[in-house]
Chain A
Amino acid sequence: MEFLIRFVQIHETFHKPEIEALAVLAGVDVDFLSYSENSPYSVVRLKDEASAKALVSRSISSKGIYELWGAGTTYEELHGDLKQRSSSQWSQYQSCSFKFDFDTFSGSRTLSEQRRIIESFKYMNFNGPIKMKDPEQTFTIFEEYEYGKEGGPLRLFLGRFVGGTQRHILNDYTLKKREYINTTSMDSELALLTANLTLAASDKIFYDPFVGTGSFPIACSHFGARTMGSDIDGRMIRGRDGKDIRTNFRQYGLLERYLDGWISDLTYSPLREGRWLDGIIGDPPYGVREGLKVLGTKDGSGKEVVWINGELAHLQDKYIPPKKAYSFEAMLDDLLEFAAQHLVDDGRLSLWMPTANDEDVELGIPAHPHLELVSVCVQTFNKWSRRLLTYRRMAESQDKSNRLGRQKAEIKGTTANDLNSFRRRYFEGFKNPPVLEDLG
């Protein structure tokens, strides 16, 4: 059966990866018959209506799924296709309550035009009551125009509404209404999309090693996962003014799904060995402002025990360990290695990383022999962009011995500037053409 997915034209590169991830979660096979990032309408093939409902039931990038009754580039074609494709179905909808909806993209129709077009479908002989609110069936006419061009629509569809999505929850999770946030909090729409890409679900354990104010754990727990997080910055975990990550979980009624937060550094992770995590999500700090910090001192000194007032300094509560500059690429490699060691088979890692617009997109994607790159999604800003990389932990037998993409970064420089090509280029305003050596 063919269905139409109605996407929302924002974060377009997430659309298809999200639906593909949801297909894995729902255990359905989805076949994209037509898809373009420039169109909100995608036609897919699915086994049945139940599969369609299940597929999009927790989608964030789409508004709904419709059984495709007809398609065409003109109304003449649409009517012809409708009769051929779905006339055998009309009789079963003859007495139910129903309504027609109009959905135009990059164009508009006056109400009287809409009415006239809807009238043209009356040969289907629906005699049930028309109900604008909660009808048993909704039939939608989709019109897609070419943006900024005069003339009629380019593509037309008629669909029967089958199932809704979770997009309506964005209003509940918006950062504007969240109690504990800061400037690094991830936008809730992107956090929920990330949770879908990582297959967050009930009975799973998810971990965020750069937890900040908890944006990702909240999104994962919305979909049922039990979550834990850590941060090298203790202030994030401890919170301020009596508000912390738990405050946010409580706000959404998700506190029972939050396991713990603690203070730690990915390079010296206290998590024990073993493949016991279902998902890992992270937005690693790339240190635009202060340079990345990990534990240790820059020159390799600082290994002496320090005493303050007769007490070991590191046992005092206010002790702040020294931190050294750390290359972003090296941290990504550490994160991939950590994920390979801790994820269950088919468990997923999603990580955000910056990419300058003028950099070669493929070069910077880190690779690991145990991890298969599942999707690359991009968010573009004015002068730079960042992308969300999602990996799947392969079973041992599926390992690829050859490493694709960037090799493990060799650390040569010692200052944050030397070590972090993104940070340096950010301050240079991305003026210079990309230099291959930068990418390690």
Chain B
Amino acid sequence: MKILTVNFLTCAVKACKTSPLSFPLHFRDAELEQSDIGYNPSFLRNILPRVDWEALKVTATELGFTTVPSEKPNLDPAPSNTDLPAPETAMETSEPDVADEKVMRDLHTLLLETEVREGKMVCGNCGHEYKIKEGIANFLLPSHLGR
């Protein structure tokens, strides 16, 4: 289970969806594995706006990563699809604090190259444990929770 995926997962119990305690799920006995994946800044740039930053910080801390900045990096605006020339005012104001290469590479390592191979994810609201085996999490609910 990649850390990027973990950022999109919460408790499967319907009653937990409204509780802020159910997200992110908390790791227990997590065994990590690193793999090598080609660095692709344009994918990161597209996906970072969808990442829940507070949740990512919690997950990273629980797994022992200390490289996540406290604020989500300020990103280049996505290249526009239109072939109209950008108005000059946009050129002046779009000098953002572009996330530096190091921060982006660290995020790439954490989000895409780091995987939880074994362990459990626990809901902070209902306490339900979801097992991860060989990188695969099981979110099927027992019948007493499945309503």
> Which residues of A pack against B, CB within 8 Å?
27, 202-205, 226, 228, 230, 232, 234, 237-238, 256, 259-265, 268-274, 276, 295-297, 302-306, 312-315, 317, 319, 321-322
Q: How far is the CA of A238 from the CA of B131 in the complex (A)?
A: 13
Stretch at the interface among B4-12, B59-67, B68-76, B86-94: B4-12
Which residues from B are CB-within-8-Å of A315? 129
Taking each of A272, A274, A302, A303, which has the highest tally of chain B beta carbons within 10 Å of its own beta carbon? A272
| A272: min CB distance to chain B, Å | 4
Which residues from B are CB-within-8-Å of A313? 142
| B26: min CB distance to chain A, Å | 14
CB pair B10 A302 closer than 8 Å: no
Chain B at the A interface: SS class = loop
A226 with B5, Cβ < 8 A, contacts A262-B139, A269-B12, A319-B142 known = no
Q: In this assembly, does B102 line the interface, its C-beta being within 8 Å of a C-beta of chain A? A: no
Which residues from A are CB-within-8-Å of B146? 268, 295-296, 321
CB pair B12 A270 closer than 8 Å: yes
Taking each of A204, A261, A263, A274, which has the highest tally of chain B beta carbons within 10 Å of its own beta carbon? A263
Could you write out 15 A-B pairs with CB less than 8 Å apart? A203-B47, A234-B140, A259-B2, A260-B1, A264-B139, A265-B139, A265-B140, A268-B139, A270-B10, A272-B10, A274-B50, A303-B144, A306-B142, A314-B142, A315-B129
Q: Scoring B residues 114 to 147 as 1 if CB is less than 8 Å from chain A, else 0, what string do you get?
A: 0000000000000001110111111111111111
Q: How far is the CA of A303 from the CA of B145 in the complex (A)?
A: 7
CB pair B37 A272 closer than 8 Å: no
A272 with B23, Cβ < 8 A, contacts A260-B2, A262-B137, A304-B144 known = yes
Which residues from A are CB-within-8-Å of B23? 272
Q: Scoring B residues 13 to 30 as 1 if CB is less than 8 Å from chain A, else 0, what string do you get?
A: 110010000010000000
A271 with B8, Cβ < 8 A, contacts A238-B134, A256-B38, A262-B137 known = yes
A-B contact sample (4 more), CB < 8 A, given A268-B140, A270-B137, A304-B143: A202-B43, A204-B46, A259-B5, A295-B140
Which residues from A are CB-within-8-Å of B43? 202-203, 226
Taking each of B4, B8, B81, B131, which has the highest tally of chain A beta carbons within 10 Å of its own beta carbon? B8
Which residues from A are CB-within-8-Å of B137? 262-263, 270
| A263: min CB distance to chain B, Å | 4
Which residues from B are CB-within-8-Å of A260? 1-2, 5, 135
Q: How far is the CA of A296 from the CA of B140 in the complex (A)?
A: 10
Q: How far is the CA of A282 from the CA of B61 in the complex (A)?
A: 35
